[in-house]
A and B are shown apart, each in its own frame.
Chain A
Amino acid sequence: MVLVTAAPQAVTNRARIDEAIDLYYGEILALTRRTVGYGDAEDIAQEAFIKVAQGMWRLDDNANVRAWVYKIALNCCRDFFRRRRQQTPLHDGLASGIVGPEQEAQQQELLQLVDGFMATLPRKQREAFVLRRLQGLEYDEIAAVMDSSEDAARANVYQAFKKLKGQFAGRVEEYV
């Protein structure tokens, strides 16, 4: 006689994956749009969530799922640039990726000025700033995503803001 001994689970792995998609796909897509640009954002977000699906079974029930998903997504963005061998991602990504409806283009235009400046920031400052200011992560989450301390995360965010503001103050009149 063959007996199935698989233990029934209260919450299935698939249910946890679906919940992560419901909760975080939108903001991860925002992250990939801000990081790799509109043209490739959807592909990278999908790639990230496939990895989320593949790895979810290993994740403890009490783990910070959001920070874990961000970490995977950020790694996918970094892999994308490694594949592309690009050093200044945001300029090129946005310039090549602007497509779609008018309102989308308008929103992109608003962001493009800032994104162009952001491309000049060192990677850690740029990532920390995007995670904090654009994605709204708390500093402990940024520290978890970037494998750094909270103090380092804060320092990177403030450094990025100061640099951006400096660039912005110098050039804003050309655009306004």
Chain B
Amino acid sequence: MNIDRCFSGDELAVALIDGSGARSLEDLRGHAAGCESCRVELEAGLELNGRLNAELVPPRQEALNHLRSSIDEMVAFIGELQAPWGPLGVALTERGVTRIEFGASLDRMAELVAGDGLVPEAAAHALAPLERELDEYFAGERKTFDIETDLRTANSFLRAVLGKTSEIPAGSYSTYAGVAADIGHPKAYRAVGNALGSNPIPIIIPCHRVLASGGGIGGYGGGLPIKRYLLELEGATLSPRALAASQ
């Protein structure tokens, strides 16, 4: 290598930042020893490089603990359970059940809970309490659920609708207009219907117990045969019109 040739800014950058390139740092030093303008350049480069090497303080342990506990609160255990009619995707946080989705696979549940800002975790053992209660419910041995619900992502209107819906006892039912009146917005029965359509925790929050006024069965995210199945499981007596609609 010809050390007589002045080095370029790129050559200096490569030597100092990457420690590689056609001309090594030693090579540049050799040239700079006899070249005033390159010596100034090299010294500025070395000075800058030295300033960049200042050590940074490590993260605080409290900050790491805070981060880990924030993530703990966001973990949603997901799984796929088998209901009498088919698969049921479920998600459970440390606060309670946060999602039940008809026919949902594990991947779909991961997508749903991630969309809620939660951290999906496939862990069958964590779902045991929910599994047991659902098991007892489908066997006709349980009328109410003891497990908590986690509605952190629901807005206040949805919360109000779901709260009133949860008060409807097994074996009976209300109407969209009835729930609308119960939350103090009697004209909002369509909005109530839409809200119940987005119930994130069907079965446990019994939106199947809300029917249309005038004897119709209304709608259901899982399909009308499942709505009828659940109502009959709970011992409700349906009108002929509701029965005909849910065939």
Q: Spell out A's residues near B (CB within 8 Å).
A: 1-9, 12-14, 17-18, 21, 25-26, 29-30, 33, 42, 45-46, 49-50, 53-58, 103-104, 107, 110-111, 113-114, 132-134, 157-158, 161-162, 164-166, 168-169, 172, 176
Contact = CB atoms under 8 A, between A and B. Distances in A.
A4 B124 contact: yes
B17 A25 contact: no
A107 B53 CA distance: 10
Contact of B82 (A2, A110, A111): A2
Interface stretch (B22-30, B110-118, B150-158, B206-214): B110-118
Contact of B41 (A14, A50, A104, A165): A165
B63 interface: yes
B160 interface: no
Contact of B51 (A3, A6, A42, A113): A113
A33 B124 CA distance: 40
A132 to B, nearest CB: 6
Contacts of B185: none
A30 B187 CA distance: 56
Given A4-B131, A17-B71, A54-B117, A165 B9 contact: yes
Contacts of B78: 6
Nearest to B63: A42
The interface residues of chain A, by DSSP majority, are classed as helix
B106 interface: yes
The 3 closest A-B pairs by CB, nearest first: A169-B44, A6-B79, A161-B13
The interface residues of chain B, by DSSP majority, are classed as helix
Given A6-B124, A12-B121, A114-B48, A46 B67 contact: yes
B223 interface: no
A59 B53 CA distance: 33
A107 B55 contact: yes
A111 B68 CA distance: 30
Contact of A4 (B48, B64, B81, B138): B81
B56 A30 contact: yes
5 contacts: A6-B78, A13-B120, A29-B56, A57-B120, A157-B17
B240 to A, nearest CB: 32
B47 A5 contact: no
Contacts of A168: 44, 47-48, 51
A123 B239 CA distance: 68
Contacts of A104: 57
Interface in B91-139: 106, 110, 114, 117-124, 127, 131, 134-135, 138
Interface in B6-20: 9-10, 12-14, 16-17
B74 interface: yes
B83 interface: yes
Contacts of B9: 158, 161-162, 165
Contact of A18 (B48, B55, B68): B68
Given A2-B82, A4-B131, A169-B41, A50 B47 contact: no
B68 A21 contact: yes
A161 B52 CA distance: 11
B80 A5 contact: yes
A94 to B, nearest CB: 13
Contacts of B45: 161, 165
Nearest to B70: A50
A53 B74 contact: yes
A176 B110 CA distance: 56
Contacts of B184: none
Contacts of B117: 54
Contacts of B71: 14, 17, 49-50, 53
Nearest to A33: B56
